[in-house]
Structure formats: C-alpha cells, structure tokens
Amino acid sequence: MSAITKIKKTGRSGFFRGGREDSPFKRLVIHAILILACIIAVYPVLRVFSVSLRPGDRLLSTSLAIIPEDASLEAYRAILVDRDFLLWVWNSLIITIATAVVGVILAATSAYAFSRWRFPGRGAGLVFLLTTQMIPAAMLMVPLYILAARLGAINTYRGLVIAYSVTSVPFSIWILKGYYDTIPLDLEEAALIDGASRMSAFWRIILPLSTPALAIVFLFNFMQAWNDYMLARIMLQRPDLYTWPVGLWNMLFSYKTEWGVFSAASILVMVPVMTLFLYSSKWLISGLTLGSVKG
C-alpha cells in the first residue's frame, strides 16, 4: 500500500529522467542552471553584436555592457556599402544552396539502397563511408587542387558545388540510412502489392516520411558549404568569385584589422544559418537520432 502511494506521489519525477511533479525548489534550481548555461552559450555572440555597434574610435573597451551608450550602425554601413561583402554572400549563398540540393539527392537515393537491399559489398561500403570521415581535411587539399586544375575546375562555382556535395555524401548517407531503417517495410510492400513500382514507392512513401532526416541532411550540407574556408581558398582565386569566408578572411588580414566591420559582417552571415537552424529545430532531434535509436 505504502509503496503504491509513494509511486503515485513521486509519480514521474526521477531526477535523471524528468517528471511532471518536481518540487518548486528543484524546478528553481533547474531553471537557474539552464539560464546560466544559456548565458554562457549566447554571451560571446552578444559580445560580437556589441562590438559591431560601437563607433570606430572605441572598439577596444573593457566595458561589459552589450549595447554601448553611443551605439551606431556605421560598421554595418561600411561592410554593406564600402566592401564587396554582398557579392561574397551572394556567391556563398548560391554555391551553398546548390550543394545542399545536389547533396541531398545523391544521399537520399544511395541511402535507400543501403537500407533496403543486402547486396554484396554493403558492409564494406558502410565502413568505407565511415572511414572517409577520418580523413584530415588538409590531406586532400594538394591532390584535389591538382585534380581541379587538370579538369579546369579552378575559378568555377561548378567545381566547388560538386566537391562540397560529394564530400558530405558519406555522413548524409549514414544519417538517412539510419532513418529509413526505422520505416516499416510493410508500408512499401503494401504499395508494391497495389502495383506501384519500387521507385514510386520510394518517392511517394519513403521520402515524405523521412522529412526530418532530409531536413537535417540539408542543414548539414548547407552548413558545411556555407562555413568552408579551406577548399574555397584554393579553388577560387578571382576576387569576384570569393565566398564570404575567403573574402572576410582577406579583409581581416589585409586592411588594418577593423573589428567593428568584421563583427558586423559576422552578425550578418550568422543570419541565414540561424534562420535555417531555428526553422529546422523541430526536426533536429528526431532527424538526428531516431535512426540510431532503433539499433
């Protein structure tokens, strides 16, 4: 009897798994810890924002206030009007979107093959895909540059789009394969019995059900291309083709370091990724883990 009342009382409140009936004090502590963690997570970004608002003559300051007293948007005007920043962002944006589209298509179909067929070499293929993750990024730079030069892919968007989307294919396949594995075979079999072809079952049943994983793969491809510096540095040598990391980096080390302008640029390039992140956050958790949870 007492054991049952105890369960009813404490209900679902184990500390290690969360419950609905935490005591007020415990809730207070939890909120306090989370607020502190949020401050640590966001504060450096707020500082960048703060520097971007400071007028040019007061960049270095020991003040910890976020919005300076004499805030000005001068740095934003400088980066948007006086520099090629918009051009760099445009270059990055189209390369990145094309990369994400191509990357998702390549991975979505291959992952389906890995998930649904037991073909010879499947295990080896999966291990190979994992192995590619271990390649240090700097390792492929010299051979990739020589290859790109031979194929005439230097100074083209095309070379970069293909290079980015292919190099992120292995990780995308792993995520998508894990996700497809969780979708019951019965759904496709029912469609096949109704006379649908294998590909139309894939197109009409599997893909719509995999939206969370597809969103995550799109996001990963997007982030990888949007943030890359190393490959863009060696593949793009004409200033009008620079992506923002290359352009910003050059700006940072060729002019006298203008932290206000750099910070304004940082805030602006964060916007697309943050938007995409927030938009896909409802899929982020299920898309990343559902596949591996099933085991």
Partner 1 sequence: MKALTLEIITRSLGEVGSTVVYVLVAAVVIEVVLYLLLTRVFRSKYAIPAMLLTPAIIGLLLLIVIPIGWEVWISFTNMSLRHFRDPEFIALGNFVRVFTDPILQQARFFPVFLQTVLWTVINLIFHVSGGMALALLLNRKMRLKGLYRTLLVFPWAIPQVIAVLAWRNEFHFQYGFVNTTLQSMGLPPTRWMDAPLANFAAACLVNIWLGIPFMMVIILGGLQSISREFYEAAEIDGASAWHQFRYITLPMLRPVLTPAVILGTIWTFNNFNVPYLINQRELETTDILVTALFRAAFEYNRYGFSAAFALIIFAILFVFSVFYIRVTGSLRSVYE
What part of residues 165-194 is at the interface with partner 1 (CB under 8 A)?
165-167, 169-170, 173-174, 177-178
Q: Which is nearer to partner 1, 49 or 72 (CB)?
A: 49
Instruction: Kindly indicate which of the ranges 68-76, 187-195, 203-211, 284-292 contains the residues binding partner 1, using the contact rule CB under 8 A.
Output: 284-292
Q: Which is nearer to partner 1, 97 or 209 (CB)?
A: 97
147, 185, 187, 190: residue in contact with partner 1 (rule CB under 8 A): 147
CA-CA distance, 182 to 118, in Å (whole number)? 16
Q: Is 286 in the site for partner 1 (CB under 8 A)?
A: yes
Q: Is 74 in the site for partner 1 (CB under 8 A)?
A: no
Amino acid present at 249? W
198, 237, 255, 279: residue in contact with partner 1 (rule CB under 8 A): 198
CA-CA distance, 122 to 180, in Å (whole number)? 16
CA-CA distance, 84 to 133, in Å (whole number)? 34
- Are 198 and 117 in contact by the 8 Å Cβ rule? The answer is no
Closest to 49 in 3D by CA, of 20, 87, 76:
76
56, 158, 190, 203: residue in contact with partner 1 (rule CB under 8 A): 158
Q: Which is nearer to partner 1, 136 or 184 (CB)?
A: 136
53, 107, 236, 264: residue in contact with partner 1 (rule CB under 8 A): 107
- Are 66 and 46 in contact by the 8 Å Cβ rule? The answer is yes
Nearest approach, Cβ of residue 241 and partner 1 (Å): 8
Residue 22 burial by CB count (10 A; 0-12/13-18/19+): exposed, middle or buried? Answer: middle
Amino acid present at 72? S
CA-CA distance, 183 to 86, in Å (whole number)? 43
CA distances from 141 to 94, 119, 128, 212, 229 (A): 23, 33, 20, 33, 12
Three-state secondary structure call for residue 22: coil
Q: Is 261 in the site for partner 1 (CB under 8 A)?
A: no
Count H helices, E strands: the chain? Answer: 15, 0
Considering only residues 206 through 245, tell me which ones interact with partner 1, judged by CB under 8 A: 226-227, 229-230, 239-240, 245
Q: Is 294 in the site for partner 1 (CB under 8 A)?
A: yes
Q: Is 196 in the site for partner 1 (CB under 8 A)?
A: no
Tokens of 169: 């294919």
78, 106, 207, 209: residue in contact with partner 1 (rule CB under 8 A): 106
Nearest approach, Cβ of residue 136 and partner 1 (Å): 5
CA distances from 167 to 40, 56, 133, 147 (A): 33, 41, 9, 15
Considering only residues 115 through 144, tell me which ones interact with partner 1, judged by CB under 8 A: 116-117, 119-120, 122-123, 125-126, 130-144
- Are 104 and 172 in contact by the 8 Å Cβ rule? The answer is yes
Nearest approach, Cβ of residue 53 and partner 1 (Å): 14
**Interface mask toward partner 1 for 34-73; x: CB under 8 A:** xx-xx-xxxxxx-xx--x--------xxx-x---------
